[in-house]
Every structure is written in C-alpha cells, then in structure tokens.
Amino acid sequence: MPSESVRPARARSAEEKNQRRDDILRAAERLWTTTTYAELSMNQVAREAKLAKGTLYLYFDTKEELFLALLSEHLGQWITRTSDLLIERQPRTPQQVTDVLLDSADSLTPLRRLLVLLGTVLERNVRPELGLEFRRELDSQLHRLVQHMPYSAPVTLRLLRHLYALAIGWQQFRESLPGLDPRTGQPRAELPGEYRAEFELALRGIVEQLAAQDARANAV
C-alpha cells in the first residue's frame, strides 16, 4: 500500500506559513492525547503533519519550543475567554468571581497538562531568550484580566498565581491518583466530578480570603 505523500517543504505566502505552523501544533496535540511527552518525538509530529522532518525544524527548533508555543496558544485562548466572561457578567461578589473562573476553566485539561510541563521541562530546555519572551507576553496578557476584575491589581495577580498553583497541583494529583481504596486495597479510581468539586472548594476559599483582605485594605 503506497504511503501518503509528504507535502511540499516550503510554504510560500504568510498565510501558508501560518497554516503550516498550525498544522504542526494540531499534529502534536493529537499525538499527545495518546503518547506521553517523554515518548513523543519530532519525527512522529512530522509524520502526523505529513511533513518532512527538516520542514518541521523550519518552524520549531526543538520539541520544547513546539510545546511552549502550544501552551502559549492555550493560555491566550483561556485569557480571552475569561476576559469575555468578566466583561459580560461584571462579577462583584467572591461567589460571582469564582463562578466566572470555574466556567472559564471547564474543558481545559490540555492547558492544565501543559502548565505541568512548563516549570519542569519546557522553560528549562528552551533558549533563554524564548523563555523570557514567553514570560513577557504572558504578563502582558494577564494584565488584560486585571482591569476587568473587581479587586486591586496586586490582589488580582495574587489570585491568578493561586489559580495557577491550584491548576497544576490538582492536575498532577489527578494524573497520579495517589492512595489505595481502603475497601479493595487497589489503586483508588477518580470519581466522576471529583476533580472539579475539590478544585472548586479550594478556589472558593482563596477568592473569599483575598476579597476580604482587599476590602480591609481599601477601608483603611
């Protein structure tokens, strides 16, 4: 059976180049659903995207650079969605703010998995200037959220840091599933909705505490 042909090596127009880059990101994302990051190779991504391996390196020098771009894309989408919800709902109470953050975080398992990779793999292995560029762009985008939150900028940034820590912490917990079921002695399985319920419990407590601190500071 003849193999599928590899597409031409070079995209000529800016539109073609952007499409080729997006094809590579989507190929990596598809593979990552069934292959661990450690086992996933640039060769596999090239085959999935129907490109020559050399063509892949015209867009990304390393696997870490590719996944950092994927993370940047997912973060941008989450920030845009959260900003839109904040503008639409204009939350004022801690409960309303938490509801927005929970709704914007639904179906974001890929983003949480990428955030787990960020500090452990990606930033440690990309070129320093690329890591710095990523952080600067992230800071710029996060300030879009600050202006729509009902709290002061310092408190909002603290809240976002807590949200980041919760996201990667609970994602790691979800993937490792530590502990045994006391009834069976077997590894404990995750219950439907358990992750969201526990994540919500922690997030509501954090938002309420930070909102109270912000109110006290403004009252002085």
- Dump pLDDT digits (tens) for 10-31: 667 888 899 999 999 999 999 9
The first and second tokens of residue 169, run together, are 């912490």
Q: pLDDT per residue over 182-219, tens digit each?
A: 566 555 555 556 778 889 999 999 999 999 999 999 88
**Residue 188 Ramachandran class (φ > 0 left, ψ -120 to 50 alpha, else beta):** beta
For the stretch 93-109, pLDDT in tens is 999 999 999 999 877 88
Whole-prediction pTM: 0.84
Concatenated DSSP letters of 104-153 = HHTT-HHHHHHHHHIIIIIHHHS-HHHHHHHHHHHHHHHHHHHTTSSS-H
The answer, yes or no, to whether residue 2 has pLDDT greater than 50, is no
Note the pLDDT of residue 220.
Answer: 73
The model's confidence at residue 3, banded by pLDDT at 50, 70 and 90, is very low
Q: What pLDDT is recorded for position 171? A: 84
Q: Which domains does the chain have, with CATH numbers?
A: 1-60 (1.10.10.60), 63-219 (1.10.357.10)
Q: What is the per-residue pLDDT for 194?
A: 72
The pLDDT score that the predictor gives to residue 81 is 93
Residue 154 above 90 pLDDT?
Answer: yes
- pLDDT at site 205: 97
pLDDT in tens, 45-63: 999 999 998 999 999 999 9
Q: How far apart are CA 86 and CA 96, in angstroms?
A: 10
- DSSP three-state, residue 97: helix
